Amino acid sequence: MSAIEWTDVTWNPVRGCSRVSEGCRNCYAERMASRGLPGQRSPTTGEPFARDGHWTGKVELIPSKLNEPLSWRKPRRVFVNSMSDLFHEGLSNEDIERVFAVMTLAPHHTFQVLTKRPERMREWFSSGVPGLETREENVQRAAEWRGKVVFDSRGSDRHLYPPRAGDVSDRRRWPGWPLPNVWLGVSVENQKTADERIPLLLQTPAAKRFVSYEPALGPVDFGPWIQPCGCTVMVEHRRLDWVIVGGESGPGARAFDVAWARVTVRQCKAAGVACFVKQLGAKPRTSDRDSWEWLHLASSKGGDPAEWPVDLRVREFPCE
């Protein structure tokens, strides 16, 4: 199970990453990868994905991790790539396709895909893999892999079970696109990254769209992306379904003003959008117009809601 409060388990079929903005400065995945522990090195070359606290630039799909969710019988919320980014530029379209194939084959799970690269995500959904059909047809093709192949722990192909008549051709057995069990989200840390990433997320087809405002490094006005305009059903759907907010923890944590969370909670409540306050971070503070003061919490990452102001004790999930 996962220590991340808004998910049940993490699934990391990709390893390695690189920094894209200030929110990456104190990346826990980068620190963990630097330790060179088993699973933190390339299974093909043995090279580390990070060294001396910095990513090496190596990013790989890990075949031995691909079919993990298929062995989990109980439905779970699954955070995809907590240690990397599924839409990293170092991955091929085919690598991403393989991950989506597995998510399609596990409709009993809800997959939470979070990226800091929404431009690549939008591009992936709107363009086809070279030599194949459009993106929608590609994912429908992945859905038809029931009775075809996934990759086993050795990276070779194997049959899930003998294909039956109709498994490949009968599309009525499969949900339409977007996949109802896949939520897409972006990480933001301030207004600048929110302005850059959220519009691209809203241009990408998804059953649910969410934002992880963590580590929160400055105020963000979510109003433009959570208020329905009332124009058409389609336009109203193209808003955020969920906002997660949290302060930074770990070595070098930066200050988190609880007013940022307070405004986010208030905006979400007014718009009828689910909000989840994950933690107040290692350095939470309260402020007014002229001064600020630190909050001294027993939890090292400010993760115990019992220590928070009452109005911040909000942990909601979007309706499934």
C-alpha to C-alpha distances, 277 to 265, 308, 315, 320, nearest whole angstrom = 8, 10, 6, 19
- Please give the DSSP secondary-structure letter assigned to residue 128: P
The greatest distance separating any two alpha carbons of the chain, rounded to the nearest whole angstrom, comes to 72
Q: pLDDT band at 163, cuts 50/70/90?
A: very low
Between 98 and 168, the higher pLDDT residue:
98
Closest CA to 18 of 10, 5, 27: 27
Contact 182, 207 (CB under 8 A): yes
28-42, 52-66, 201-215, 297-311: range with lowest mean pLDDT = 28-42
Q: How far apart are CA 26 and CA 319, in angstroms?
A: 32
Task: Tell me the domain boundaries of the chain.
Answer: 9-173, 214-312
Q: Considering only 34-48, 96-110, 267-281, which range has the smallest mean pLDDT? A: 34-48
Supply 147's token pair: 């009775």
Q: What are the pLDDT digits (tens) for 275-306? A: 999 999 999 999 876 778 999 999 999 999 99
- pLDDT digit string (tens) for 33-53? 888 666 677 777 778 788 888
Of 133-137, 239-243, 250-254, 302-306, minimum mean pLDDT range: 133-137
Instruction: Decide the pairing of beta strands 256-257 and 242-246.
Output: unpaired
CA distance 249 to 242: 22
Q: How far apart are CA 159 and CA 157, in angstroms?
A: 7
Read off the pLDDT band of 158 (50, 70, 90).
very low
Percent of the chain with pLDDT over 70: 80
Q: How far apart are the first and last CA of the chain?
A: 21
**Identity of the amino acid at 319:** C
- Give the contacts of 111 (CB within 8 A, at least 6 positions apart): 11, 69, 78, 80, 103, 181, 182, 183
As a whole number of angstroms, the distance between CA 122 and CA 204 comes to 5
Instruction: Determine contact, residues 209/240, Cβ cutoff 8 Å.
Output: yes
The first and second tokens of residue 12, run together, are 């990391």
The reported pTM is 0.86
